[in-house]
Amino acid sequence: MSLSMYPASIPVFVRMLGNLSNILDKAEAHAEANKIDPAIFVNGRLSPDMFPLSRQVQIATDVVKGCAARLAGIEVPCYEDNEATFSELQARIAKTKAFVESVKQTQVDGSEDLAITLKFGSKELHFLGQAYLLDFVLPNFYFHVTTTYAILRHYGVEVGKTDYTGIY
């Protein structure tokens, strides 16, 4: 039996967005309990040349909302990318999760051979739906969720592997 596009995408996005939200909850609680300005975490980086945590969350949500929309053949929602607090990041995650959950299986299944073009400035990337999901979206999504997790671990937030993967 082959794996269809919907179960390989939408439920994965929803679960990991929930895990990302839970990780940010732990970070906010850690900041409050230890009297740390939450902006330290929201603006935290692993290296000076990396994006801060806020941008990691923005990119993670952009990747999945874009994927869900493109595979479903609907317009990609546009967000302002101006979140600067945990509550604003949580609202973005919730908004993204709600959008992704609104996409129906019938809209996504069968999109394996759908032509998808992404534009980054003057550069264009061309994919078929399955390669877009498996080779571009999932690696990027996991990278930015993992980097968010790693930034918080680096700053002393007590999160572990089960926070990242979720409890099965």
What is the β-pairing status of strands 123-128 and 115-120? Answer: antiparallel
In a domain, 86, yes or no: yes
Q: What is the pTM of this model?
A: 0.95
Classify residue 152: in a domain, yes or no: yes
CATH code, domain with 55: 1.20.120.450
Q: What is the full per-residue pLDDT of the chain (168 aa) written as tens digits?
A: 577 999 999 999 999 999 999 999 999 999 999 999 999 999 999 999 999 999 999 999 999 999 999 999 999 999 999 999 999 999 999 999 999 999 999 999 999 999 999 998 999 999 999 999 999 999 999 999 999 999 999 999 999 999 999 876
Residue 103: name the closest of 15, 19, 9 by CA.
Answer: 9
- Is 103 contained in some domain? yes
Range of the domain at 118: 5-158
Structure tokens at 1: 């039996």
Assess if residue 46 is contained within a domain: yes
Total domain count, the chain: 1
Supply the DSSP string of 103-118, one letter for each residue. Answer: S-HHHHTT-TT-EEEE
